[in-house]
């Protein structure tokens, strides 16, 4: 045994001596992120630089005799250093080196190409994708206050309908469509179908120089999104999971039954009528002794939960080598609404829910050293569920605002389901949610994108061509299973004390309905790119040709069945000298089938230039804190052919039908649409001037732009053709024009206090104001009634002068014609035209529209070692809306219409001294005028009395994050790092409204509320 141990010891000694003499062998390939081998990379032992080698023509290297734990250093000009720790013999390692580019040499995505950041002369905002990557929300919801140049509003918080509407540089047209064109990997797509974690780059193209290549589709700006693609290197896996608690941040507070009844009586008495509720009824309401006839229902408590749990998950896999690279991802999002179901009513789910599943695969293969094939496959599956009643779920919110606590109970004491009437707004929200069946919407979107790129450097350096084919298909299958139970309303009791029930809706058994929709889009593109440097001169060029064809199954006639098609040839020429002077010329020659033969194509040129004075040595010496300054300007024409639902409006169409007149019995033919000669697209004349600057060793960076957009040829229906012409429908023409102008910009500050502490501050703003310069209109009696010369969509109404003080005040004022009797405490209006009468002729433009002219945001992030804390604030201004509608005007619909709590506060309403016994209740500054039980056409109409300022500042996001990494995680389970985050969205809002979220103020509380979410996020990197 002793001899055996000696032999084993000698054997291990020999092995140890052998390792000491020869060590480990490491060999592999060094490449860039695109899989291109790098030639001449220096590979050395960091501890012994005499031990090293360089990569060969194929990027390969081999280095022997390396000790365990040796660190190899890879260095190459123009690339960041990489390190590799030796742990054994390795023959096929992959080392991927990342390009070391300055901020100015960074490549940004522009229209149909990439450019160096320093050479960009157009107005382009590049957004870091991580800024938009927030759990439980869509990309569109993160644009407002985050991206300069974008104004966004969110009108609903309902799952599946909680997306923001946004405009680039505000609303620039009153035509059919003011929305931006959204391109995903160069093809038109849906921004809300994307998972933010799949985004590689996000650019907003704002001026003519950036959008001219899109011709008739670029007038409203373009959002260009590039999804992630594979990078050469080892397999990389990312898994992210979110657990989300969602609650309604702000909802209207309504009065209880007793307060409602008190004020209903006051409203009746204030107009000289008898109280609607007797003393006996008031006592029954107060004590709650008759819950059938005098209930006290808080409909919000009946149909809503306090909160709901949601979840979201994301998995991505990426990697590749010199021959091929890949990126694949899978994301899942599950969102339920806060509606509270009665589980005893059904065995199936009637709640509003939204479930999205998306898959993305991006692959590219080097067919040869100069030929690259790319393949992208993506699929989005959306499943939505909702109650069976109505076309959407707004009826639920309208019902809870429309039904008072006294209208009906949830159920009568005999078990009968209660409702007030047969109309949709009279139906109990409890019945709508639980007893009307359910709807299912199933949507499937499938996309295929194939690209083939050929490097033509063998012809001339810097030249390449690319061919693209894309297919996108959408299919929807909507199923409805609707029913209606017997519904009753009790208007009293019989002699025996039983309820006198009247049936308001008859029972309908479960019925089945379906609707199927499909759409297809084909896109072909051929692009030639040229970029080359000749000494101090940089020259670039782009030639692009594309065809696009869209069709869908909604067509119901021969014209609508014709696919929508675009055809375009566009180009770009860029020039730079010494990275100091830049010039660019863009042109698009684009055609749309919307217009007549000979008028379908148009030219859209744009020119831009830039100057970087900080390239001069003397300027850097004189102003050392100014690291970079660029002044740029652009002017050009862009078009918009999206002129509404009209297809081929240049054609005159006829209809056939039956006549009911005595002079033309039987079949008739008549004009339906009157064609218009010379019809064409809207044209945007865009001017932009901007400044980009970096200061104090790049710590401070800012961009600011002034823009002016003149829109002509806006499509509108003729209004000045005399009726004597005898047209059934007036024709459409390019009659309108509009001007918008403003500023946008951003600023950031980044500072490292030491190796542990770092702080980043950033802010942005967008201000856009428009004015209609021509709108064909008729029936204008006074100049202020015209839409011309004022902002589009501005709120219009009467000018309120307060409340009438007494009868003498009424007698001495112009006659108000909306009601036969006007009393003290009613709203007093200004006689604008001085005709002694107050009527609709006195309505004037008031202040702003419901869409903000101003939107801004500011954020801060503090990082300490592995901890970080960030906050985002977002605000908007120059926006107005009118208070009003169901649930706001007290008793406007008598027994229908909830009563806000603020009305019950005596100081908020005007009450006559005869009712209150106190003269001080005749408050001239009251928020609500003298109450009326029923419609009051004098008080309940648009005026400055009800005009509200919609400005706000929102604490939009707070994120606390801890990043953890440890060698044992990597060695044992392969996890290179874990991020643990706690995220709160929509924390609080400062505004003058207080009743509901300012983003949905125009709905006056009848929309699903904007949600506040609390998220726990775990992010694993393997």
pLDDT of residue 17: 36
Whether the predicted pLDDT of 176 surpasses 80? no
Same domain, residue pair 139 and 173: yes
pLDDT of residue 307: 93
Q: Are 146 and 131 in contact (CB under 8 A)?
A: yes
Q: Would 254 be classed as within a structural domain?
A: no
Same domain, residue pair 146 and 216: yes
Q: Would 107 be classed as within a structural domain?
A: yes
CATH of the domain at 115: 2.170.130.10
Same domain, residue pair 137 and 232: yes
Predicted confidence (pLDDT) per residue in 199-230, tens digit: 999 999 999 998 888 888 888 999 999 999 98
Same domain, residue pair 202 and 218: yes
Cα dihedral 776/782/785/786 (nearest 10):
30
The DSSP string of 237-296 is EEEEEEEEEEEES----B--HHHHHHHHHHHHHHTT---SS-HHHHHHHHHT--TTTS--
DSSP 34: T
End-to-end CA gap in the chain: 47
pLDDT of residue 658: 53
Predicted confidence (pLDDT) per residue in 346-373, tens digit: 888 888 999 999 999 999 999 998 999 9
Report which listed range, 101-110, 452-461, 589-598, is most confident. Answer: 452-461
Q: What's the average model confidence in pLDDT over 553-561? A: 77
Contacts of 770 (CB under 8 A, 6+ apart): 170, 171, 172, 738, 739, 740, 741, 791, 792
Same domain, residue pair 138 and 62: no
With residue 132 as reference, give the H or E element that holds it.
helix 129-132
Q: Which residues make beta-bridge pairs with 447?
A: 378, 472
Chosen domain end from 42, 60, 94: 94
Which residue would you say has higher pLDDT here, 8 or 790? 790
Q: What's the average model confidence in pLDDT over 710-731? A: 82
CATH of the domain at 68: 2.60.40.10
Q: Would 219 be classed as within a structural domain?
A: yes
Q: Sorting pLDDT into bands at 50, 70 and 90, what band is 136?
A: confident
Same domain, residue pair 82 and 114: no
pLDDT of residue 104: 58
Q: Determine what percent of the chain is predicted with pLDDT higher than 90.
A: 59
**Domain span at residue 82?**
20-94
The Cα 214–Cα 222 span in angstroms is 9
Encoded tokens for 932: 């009326």
Same domain, residue pair 165 and 200: yes
Q: Determine what percent of the chain is predicted with pLDDT higher than 70.
A: 96
Q: Would 315 be classed as within a structural domain?
A: no
Show contacts of 258-262: CB within 8 Å, 24+ apart. 258/282, 258/285, 258/286, 258/296, 259/899, 259/901, 259/904, 260/404, 260/405, 260/406, 260/899, 261/285, 261/406, 262/904
Q: Would 788 be classed as within a structural domain?
A: no
Q: What's the average model confidence in pLDDT over 571-592? A: 92
Whether the predicted pLDDT of 12 surpasses 80? no
Q: What's the average model confidence in pLDDT over 323-339? A: 93
Q: Would 150 be classed as within a structural domain?
A: yes
Q: Sorting pLDDT into bands at 50, 70 and 90, what band is 426?
A: confident
Predicted confidence (pLDDT) per residue in 466-489, tens digit: 999 999 999 999 999 999 999 999
Q: What's the average model confidence in pLDDT over 296-315? A: 93
Same domain, residue pair 211 and 110: yes
Same domain, residue pair 150 and 52: no
Q: Sorting pLDDT into bands at 50, 70 and 90, what band is 732?
A: confident
Q: Would 47 be classed as within a structural domain?
A: yes
Q: Sorting pLDDT into bands at 50, 70 and 90, what band is 644?
A: low
Chosen domain end from 94, 115, 139: 94
Beta strands 947-949; 82-85: pairing state: unpaired
Q: Sorting pLDDT into bands at 50, 70 and 90, what band is 413?
A: very high
Q: How many domains does the chain have?
A: 2
Chosen domain end from 49, 71, 94: 94
pLDDT of residue 21: 46
pLDDT of residue 3: 46
* Half-sphere exposure (Cβ direction) of 889: Cα atoms closer than 13 Å: 23
Same domain, residue pair 119 and 233: yes
Predicted confidence (pLDDT) per residue in 940-973, tens digit: 999 999 999 999 999 999 999 999 888 777 777 8
Q: Please give the mean pLDDT across all residues of the chain.
A: 88
Q: Sorting pLDDT into bands at 50, 70 and 90, what band is 1?
A: very low
Q: Would 525 be classed as within a structural domain?
A: no
Whether the predicted pLDDT of 119 surpasses 90? no
Q: Sorting pLDDT into bands at 50, 70 and 90, what band is 103?
A: low
pLDDT of residue 657: 65
Whether the predicted pLDDT of 23 surpasses 90? no
Same domain, residue pair 111 and 231: yes
Q: Are 639 and 601 in contact (CB under 8 A)?
A: no
pLDDT of residue 645: 60
Q: What's the average model confidence in pLDDT over 531-554? A: 91
Cut 0.85: pTM above it: yes
Predicted confidence (pLDDT) per residue in 594-610, tens digit: 888 888 888 999 999 99
Pick from 390, 386, 434, 392: nearest CA to 410: 434
Whether the predicted pLDDT of 86 surpasses 90? no
Same domain, residue pair 118 and 138: yes
């Amino acid at each position: 045994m002793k001899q055996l141990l000696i032999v084993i010891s000698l054997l291990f000694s020999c092995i140890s001596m052998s390792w000491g003499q020869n060590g480990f062998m490491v060999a592999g390939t060094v490449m860039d992120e695109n899989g291109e081998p790098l030639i001449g990379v220096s590979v050395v032992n960091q501890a012994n630089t005499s031990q090293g080698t360089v990569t060969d023509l194929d990027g390969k290297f081999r280095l022997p005799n390396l000790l365990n734990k040796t660190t190899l250093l890879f260095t190459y000009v123009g690339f960041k250093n990489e390190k590799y720790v030796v742990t054994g013999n390795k023959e096929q390692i992959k080392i991927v080196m990342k390009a070391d580019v300055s901020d100015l040499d960074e490549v940004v995505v522009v229209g149909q190409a990439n450019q160096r950041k320093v050479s960009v002369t157009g107005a382009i905002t590049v957004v870091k994708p991580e800024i938009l990557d927030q759990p439980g929300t869509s990309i569109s919801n993160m644009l407002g206050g985050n991206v300069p140049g974008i104004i966004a509003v969110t009108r609903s918080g309902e799952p599946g309908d909680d997306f923001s509407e946004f405009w680039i540089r505000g609303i620039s047209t009153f035509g059919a469509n003011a929305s931006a064109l959204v391109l995903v990997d160069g093809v038109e797509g849906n921004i809300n179908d994307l998972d933010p974690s799949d985004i590689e780059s996000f650019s907003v193209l704002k001026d003519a120089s950036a959008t001219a290549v899109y011709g008739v589709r670029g007038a409203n700006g373009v959002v260009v999104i590039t999804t992630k693609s594979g990078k050469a290197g080892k397999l990389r896996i990312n898994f992210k999971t979110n657990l989300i608690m969602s609650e309604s941040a702000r909802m209207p507070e309504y009065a209880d039954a007793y307060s409602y009844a008190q004020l209903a009586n006051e409203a009746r008495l204030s107009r000289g009528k008898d109280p609607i509720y007797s003393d006996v009824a008031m006592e029954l309401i107060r004590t709650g002794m008759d819950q059938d006839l005098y209930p006290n229902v808080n409909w919000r408590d009946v149909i809503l939960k306090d909160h709901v749990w949601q979840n979201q998950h994301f998995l991505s896999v990426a990697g590749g080598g010199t021959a091929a690279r890949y990126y694949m991802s899978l994301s899942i999002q599950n969102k339920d609404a806060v509606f509270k179901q009665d589980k005893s009513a059904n065995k199936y789910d009637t709640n509003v829910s939204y479930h999205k599943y998306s898959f993305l695969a991006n692959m590219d293969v080097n067919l040869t050293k100069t030929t690259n094939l790319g393949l992208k496959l993506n699929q989005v599956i959306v499943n939505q569920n909702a109650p069976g009643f109505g076309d959407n779920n707004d009826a639920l919110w309208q019902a809870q605002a429309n039904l008072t606590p006294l209208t009906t109970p949830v159920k009568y004491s005999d078990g009968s389901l209660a409702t007030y009437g047969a109309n949709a707004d009279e139906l109990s929200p409890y019945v709508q949610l639980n007893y009307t069946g359910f709807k299912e919407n199933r949507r499937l979107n499938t996309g295929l994108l194939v690209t083939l790129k050929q490097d033509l450097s063998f012809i001339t350096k810097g030249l390449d061509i690319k061919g693209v084919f894309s297919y996108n298909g959408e299919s929807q299958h909507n199923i409805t299973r609707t029913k209606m139970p017997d519904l009753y309303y009790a208007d009293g009791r019989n002699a025996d004390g039983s309820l006198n029930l009247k049936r308001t809706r008859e029972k309908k058994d479960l019925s089945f309905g379906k609707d199927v929709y499909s759409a297809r889009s084909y896109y072909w593109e051929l692009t030639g790119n040229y970029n080359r440097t000749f000494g101090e001169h940089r020259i670039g060029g782009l030639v692009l040709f594309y065809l696009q064809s869209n069709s869908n199954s909604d067509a119901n006639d021969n014209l609508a069945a014709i696919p929508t098609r675009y055809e375009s040839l566009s180009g770009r020429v860029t020039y730079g000298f010494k990275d100091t002077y830049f010039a660019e010329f863009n042109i698009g020659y684009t055609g749309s089938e919307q217009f007549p033969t000979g008028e379908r194509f148009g030219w859209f040129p744009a020119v831009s230039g830039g100057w970087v004075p900080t390239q001069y040595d003397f300027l850097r010496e004189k102003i050392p804190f100014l690291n970079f300054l660029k002044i740029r300007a652009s002017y050009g024409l862009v078009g918009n052919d999206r002129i509404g639902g009209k297809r081929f409006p240049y054609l005159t169409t006829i209809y056939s039908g039956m006549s009911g007149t005595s002079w033309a019995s039987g079949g008739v033919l008549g004009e339906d649409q009157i064609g218009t000669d010379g019809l064409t697209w809207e044209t945007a004349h865009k001017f932009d001037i901007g400044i980009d600057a970096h200061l104090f060793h790049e710590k401070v960076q800012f961009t600011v732009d002034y823009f002016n957009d003149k829109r002509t040829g806006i499509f509108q229906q003729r209004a000045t053709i005399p009726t004597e012409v005898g047209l059934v429908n007036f024709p459409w023409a390019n009659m309108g024009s509009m001007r918008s102008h403003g500023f946008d910009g951003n600023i950031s500050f980044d500072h490292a206090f030491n190796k542990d502490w770092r702080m980043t501050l950033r802010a942005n703003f967008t201000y856009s104001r428009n004015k209609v310069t021509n709108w064909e209109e008729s029936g204008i009696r006074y100049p202020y009634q015209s839409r011309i010369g004022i902002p589009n969509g501005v709120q219009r109404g009467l000018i309120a002068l307060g409340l009438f003080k007494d009868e003498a005040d009424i007698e001495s004022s112009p006659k108000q014609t909306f009601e036969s009797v006007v009393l003290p405490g009613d709203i007093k209006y200004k006689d604008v035209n001085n005709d002694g009468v107050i009527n609709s002729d006195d309505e004037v433009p008031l202040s702003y529209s419901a869409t903000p002219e101003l939107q801004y945001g500011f954020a801060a992030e503090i990082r300490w070692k592995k901890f970080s804390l960030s906050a985002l604030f977002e605000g908007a201004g120059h926006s107005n809306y009118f208070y009003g509608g169901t649930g706001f005007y007290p008793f406007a619909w008598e027994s229908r219409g909830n009563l806000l709590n603020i009305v019950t506060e005596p100081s908020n309403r005007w009450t006559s001294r005869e009712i209150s016994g106190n003269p001080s209740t005749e408050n001239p500054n009251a928020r609500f005028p003298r109450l009326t039980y029923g419609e009051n056409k004098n008080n309940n109409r648009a005026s400055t009395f009800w005009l509200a300022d919609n400005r706000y500042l929102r604490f939009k996001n707070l994120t606390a994050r801890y990043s953890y990494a440890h060698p044992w995680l990597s060695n044992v389970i392969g996890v290179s790092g874990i991020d643990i985050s706690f995220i709160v969205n929509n924390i609080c809002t400062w505004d003058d409204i207080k009743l509901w979220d300012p983003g949905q103020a125009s709905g006056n509380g009848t929309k699903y509320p904007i949600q506040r979410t609390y998220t726990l996020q775990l992010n694993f990197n393997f």
